[in-house]
Amino acid sequence: MKRVWNEKKEILSREEAEKIRLRRLRKQLKYCYARSEFYKRKFDGVGFQPEDIRTWEDYRKIPPLMDKEEERQSQRESIERFGHPFGMHLCCPLEKIVVAKTTGGTTGLPTFSYSFTQHDFDRWNEGIARGYWLSGLRPGDRVLFCFPLSGGWAGSIVKSPLQYMGILCLDIGAETPIEKIVEYANVTRPNVLMSTPSFAEALIEAYPKLTGKPVAELGIRKLLLSGEPGVAIPSIRKRMEENFDGRWNDYLMINSEGFCSSCTAKEYQGLHEVALDLSIWSDDLIDPDTRKPIEVKNGAIGEGLITSLDREGLPLIKYKLGDVIQVFTKSCGCKYPGPGNRIKHIGRLNDRLFVEGVGVFPIAVRDVVTSFIPRVTGAMRIILTEPAPNVFPPLKVKVEHGPGVEPGQLPELAKEIEERMLQLYRVRSKVEFVPPEALGRVTKKTPLFEERYR
């Protein structure tokens, strides 16, 4: 049995990997400069020529060059000038694009980041396949694929690597009524579930009601859940694994790059980068506020900049994603032999709240709340009485208490949660309880906020 999906590309020493990377980086930069007016303008704007990049340190000094809003602007310009939506950063002839997928698109112009030439599509399948393998998928598996069809990033593009690996994809949209999904799963007998954590939770609750049997009867033993935080929260992970009698792994796809996946280590270790030859993410870390480089060492927290390697159509260069991550350079216990870092997702910069000037991510708040399961159900909302990010203290949190918790026990429980928030994040909070399931269950993305000022 193979140890990894691609033994030749993944099992390298760090030195070998860096050599390949630097060579590919220089080639990619020259290519972008020569092929795209957008990148020429950008590089000239910060005063560097691709030839100037001789070492990794040279590259790190260059500031971010692009973000989501600029990507949209670049697209608007190409629509206006050339009648295509891919953006001025398109580096190949238009007719070479054979896959065009958008992300989300609920607000503003959708971005066409998931648009590929044949070469880029093969590269995508290859990078994602490495992550799928690491999270335990094998040829012959049967995947119940249950994302909201309209849900942006998780669109059909994450299915193609399954076929590429020889895996059956049983595709049913998460909008389908849950009874239909259960019926479909009962006849197709998948052994893997790919969905959001919210959907998996909905299935845990619905399956016994519909069939009279525990959800473990379904035979799903591998959980690849993504699109929301959750796997890093031990209590949520435990509940999932116990109910399905399986293992949960997550994987994260960042704007068509950032190939990585969690591993089979007992304790959650974050996501291993599996394709150092295809893109740069955690090694190009900046302070999100000052935009200055942060030294990449074990435990460092910052915003990772994305740079594509070996991408032909729409390469991203120094792309500022808006995600704060924590990077681990020490190896974990799983014996994955690749030289990449591990990454924990801390939160979206846009979601960061400031309580009396102290920054806190909603995920951190959820982390505190869920550590009180089973005295709470784990469902919660942060109540915003004024537009984010500045919150007038205390931070108000609505929490579902657990079934069987007596009203008389609630004040003490609230106090404990509030104290833990203060201890861990130096944030003053106020907990308000509602009964179990009062916040409802959704099969799409669970909201973190309740915006009362609207």
* Least distance from Zn ion to the Cβ atom of residue 331, Å: 8
Q: Which of 170, 301, 332, 410 forms a contact with Zn ion (CB under 5 A)?
A: 332
Question: Which residue stretches of 52-91 are H helix?
Answer: 56-60, 68-82
- Tell me the three-class secondary structure of 299-318, residue by residue: CEEEEEEEEECCCCCCCCCC
Measured between alpha carbons, how far is 227 from 67 in angstroms, rounded to an integer? 20
Interhelix angle 410-425/362-370, rounded to 10 degrees, is 130
Q: Among 200-208, 215-223, 327-335, 380-388, which window interacts with Zn ion (CB under 5 A)?
A: 327-335
> Considering beta carbons, is residue 182 or 260 the nearer one to Zn ion?
260
Question: Which member of 202, 263, 276, 399 binds Zn ion (CB under 5 A)?
Answer: 263
Confirm or reject binding of residue 383 to Zn ion (CB under 5 A): no
Nearest to 86 by CA among 256, 252, 304: 256
What are phi and psi for residue 186, nearest 5 degrees?
-65, -30
Q: What's the closest the beta carbon of residue 269 comes to Zn ion, in angstroms? A: 5
CB closer to Zn ion, 109 vs 334: 334
Q: Is 4 in the site for Zn ion (CB under 5 A)?
A: no
> Least CB distance from residue 128 to Zn ion, whole Å?
18
Shortest distance (Å) from residue 330 CB to Zn ion: 11
Residues 264-323 that bind Zn ion (CB under 5 A): 265, 269
Closest CA to 301 of 325, 336, 279: 325
Q: 73 or 331, CB closer to Zn ion?
A: 331
Find the part of the chain contacting Zn ion (CB under 5 A) among 91-99, 130-138, 256-264, 299-307.
Answer: 256-264
Distance of alpha carbon 285 from alpha carbon 298, whole angstroms: 12
Q: How far is the CB of 265 from Zn ion (least distance, A)?
A: 4
C-alpha separations of 372 from 324, 368, 436 in Å: 25, 7, 14
Q: Which is nearer to Zn ion, 227 or 340 (CB)?
A: 340
Quick one: which H or E segment has residue 421? helix 410-425
Does the footprint of Zn ion cover residue 334 (CB under 5 A)?
yes
Binding positions for Zn ion, rule: CB under 5 A: 263, 265, 269, 332, 334, 336
